[in-house]
Each structure stands twice: as structure tokens, then as C-alpha cells.
Amino acid sequence: MLVKWIRCTVVDRRGFERGQRKWAGLLGEPGFRGQGGGWSRGRPGVAHVFAFWESRAFYDSFMARSHDRLAAAQSGTYTDLRAKLFDHRFDVKTGFEPRFTDVDVVRVAHCQVREPRVEHFALMQEKVWNPAMAGSPGMVRGLFGEAPGHEFLVLSMWLSSAEHGKYRAERVERLSLRAQTEADVAALAGDIVELEPSWTV
């Protein structure tokens, strides 16, 4: 599965949200698995969108045919758009599905990993972070994705901000030491996204 993460700064909120609903047109696209998104909790005006495709071939075909027509509805409503593609490497918890209807919050972590530490980082994700997140009552599902250049995406879906906050307060520092995260990660950017139900496709 291919994961596309889009982040942008919105300058015309009403126009952007109206355009966002037009992405319902994705539903008939071959290989499209689902899309959702919402607003950054910490950065006013920043929107995140997550789209899922069966494979790179389906995604490339969509980009060549229908993308520009759907995207035109949001033209001029945002600046500073960044889009990145990741290959799904493994699930966090089990049975990841690109569904957004049963969760309120998505936590996204984008990690740039030092080259010699890539395998260690992936192993720690599997052996330390995954079980801890999977054991957290408010965490519904998630995935670990990889992009060229030692970049990784950890996407976790939570019932609520409060549930994610509890996990954070109780576990993160301890887990980070155990996983030697500081030795692995050269740069880390993250955000908590409050989902907008009307953006879900």
C-alpha cells in the first residue's frame, strides 16, 4: 500500500473546505483505498490530508488522469503545500485499514533516520513502540511507512486527544530511552491532527 501525506497552510478556510469535499470524486478511482484529514491541533491554519492507494502504479495513473481536475477546486486556497509518498512497511497494532470514521485524532511522526541506524530504528519500532502503542486503550490502529532517503512515517489513529495525551504522558520518555531514539533519529517532525469528518472519502 502507498501512503500519501499532504500538508499545507490554508489561507481561505471556507474555500479550502469546500474544495476538500470535491475529493469525494476519488471513490471511483481504480486502486484508491481511502482518504481523510483535518486541522493541526498545534499550528493554526495547517491542514493535513492522508490518502491511501493499493500501489504506486494505480497512484501514478490517477495523477496522470484525474488529479488536476479534482485539485482545481482548491486552487488559491492554500500555500506551502508539501506532499510525500511512503510505502507501507508494517502495521502498528494489527490489520490497518484506511478508515477514519471511528477515530477523532491522527498522530503523525515524520522521522529522518541516520543511515547506519535504519535497521535498528525499524526494529525498535516493531519491538518497543508498536507493543506500547498497541497496548494503549485509546489507540485504534496505525502504520509504519518508509520513503527513499531514510525517511519514515509513523501514523497512529486515536479515539480522542485525551487518550493520546494519556499515552504520551505515561510512556513516551521511557520508551524513547529504551529504543535509543535519539541515536537513531537525525530529525523528527510531528503533529496531532483533529479529523474533519466531511473530508473523509
CATH code of residue 153: 3.30.70.100
Pick left, alpha or beta for residue 80 (phi over 0 → left; psi -120 to 50 → alpha; otherwise beta): left
Return the closest-CA partner of residue 78 out of 32, 37, 117: 37
What is the pTM assigned to this prediction? Answer: 0.95
Q: How many domains, the chain?
A: 1
pLDDT band at 85 (very low <50, low <70, confident <90, very high): very high
Domain interval for residue 143:
2-199
Q: How many CB atoms lie within 10 A of CB 164?
A: 23
* C-alpha span between 64 and 158 (Å, rounded): 34
Per-residue pLDDT for 64 more than 90? yes
The three cell numbers of residue 120 are 535498528
The whole-chain average pLDDT of the chain stands at 95
